Amino acid sequence: MRDLQKFYIDGQWLDPIGLKSLAVINPATETPIATIRLGNKDDVDAAVTAARKAFDDFSQTSIDDRIALLEKIITAYKNHSNALAEAITSEMGAPDQFARKAQVGAGLGHFLVALKLLKNYKFEDVIGTTRVVKEPIGVCALITPWNWPLNQIACKVAPALAAGCTMVLKPSEIAPLSAHIFAQIMHEAGVPAGVFNLIDGDGVGVGTALTHHPEVDMVSFTGSTRAGTLVSQAAAETVKRVALELGGKSANILLHDADFEKAVSRGVKGVMSNSGQSCNALTRMLVPVDKLDEVIEIARRTAGSVIVGAPNDAATVMGPVVSDVQWHKIQTLINKGIDEGAQLVCGGPGKPEGLETGYYVKPTIFAQVTNDMTIAREEVFGPVLSIISYTNEDEAIAIANDSPYGLSGGVWSEDLNRARSVAARLRTGMVHLNGAANDSRAPFGGYKQSGIGREWGAYGLEEFLETKALFGYEIV
């Protein structure tokens, strides 16, 4: 059992003011692995005060100073990569190799992108006699989830530092181990006291206090759409800037001329990756009605190759989901799919055979799904794929857009121009053409109830900047 009952505030590990503690559970074993304290409003005040005090100096640091700081953080991050991977595996069940390459690698990638960006980004411009400058927005509250803990921490912290902001991080109380190691990395890299602060807590005790706090200038939140709505409401009282990265129910459109073996197998594996716990997972697969039987067979075969098991087993492809609460939510939605008449292709309710301990879910695929079914409307956030058939291209686009979400999407076609044309009609923030991977230099974010603003690359940096016009600054 790790004792993580301290907060990182003003460059020191301090005893929290809040008295309530919480056990962190390993989802593979269902046993406690650490204890944290849950902060309260007084802890939030202490952390925000430290960030506000540090802002005056840090916001005035030179670009070269911030470049040097990011370089030190990158070095320290690499030195702790093994510990970070082990923490992620134990706190949220990611298979060992996936934790090392994808989870830890994603966090490092955002710092590398921020470093390169900072060396070339244009913070000032001239319009006639007016100089336009981009300045750090101020004290930022960063509220991050458990499903990609380091990715979401780094894609907020790295650009916030590059911009010259100070911050208070509230990681998920379900998976806080990697965040505590991250705080140690920041300390070892020499981040000035008060620039980065970490406090644990739940949404009610800490999240709400941060979003209401009058000395917080911006809230960057990743989580559910329901929680994001509450963040927006609370932040509106003091007119804070809000960046929200929320839920998704993304459609993967396989056009009639797609390579179905490749597209279906890649699509199934993508949904099962990270145990289905990715907001941008392409969980609705849209296929031509005359290809449905072929798609079902490929999908069933692919799902059967996904090895579910203990995260530390080298053969494991898919570990458990993060918690008992999450497991039961997924089971409820799987049963809902059956009750509403969808065809269960594989998987289904209950745990995989031989994995009675741990929050394991069977890789589950439904076919004959219609877009009004619950499993086509709601974000399952588990390894569950819905296959929906369509009769023509226009219908496929209409089905894809018929969602309150608009985070991601996919289009598969041997004709790239055709894929581009369909992508242009999708009301979503991102589209993957023929399985193209994410690019951490490009914007990440969505339309509609999938969020506000963008993360990653220059677009993510600009969320942390204010724009000032200095009229008459230049002499003509």
- Give residue 239's identity as a one-letter amino acid code: V
- Residue 125 is given by DSSP the state E
- Residue 192 is given by DSSP the state P
How many Cβ atoms from other residues are within 10 Å of residue 375's Cβ? 23
Q: Pairing state of beta strands 405-406 and 447-448?
A: antiparallel
- Are residues 202 and 172 in contact, defined by beta-carbon separation less than 8 angstroms? no
Inter-axis angle of helices 416-424 and 393-401, nearest 10: 40
**Chain length of the chain:** 476
Task: Determine whether 121 is exposed, middle or buried from the number of CB atoms within 10 Å of its CB (0-12, 13-18, 19+).
Answer: middle
Task: Give the position of tokens 């996919």.
Answer: 410
In whole angstroms, how far apart are CA 401 and each of 288, 406, 433? 17, 8, 17
Task: Determine whether 128 is exposed, middle or buried from the number of CB atoms within 10 Å of its CB (0-12, 13-18, 19+).
Answer: exposed
Q: SS3 of 225, please?
A: helix
**Number of alpha carbons in the 13 Å side-chain half-sphere of residue 353:** 1
Structure tokens at 339: 């009750």
In whole angstroms, how far apart are CA 324 and each of 144, 264, 397? 20, 30, 36
Residues whose CB falls within 8 Å of the CB of residue 159, separated by 6 or more in sequence, listed in order? 110, 114, 455, 460, 461, 463, 464
Active-site residues: which are they? 245
Q: For residues 407 and 417, what is the distance between their CA atoms, to the nearest angstrom?
A: 22
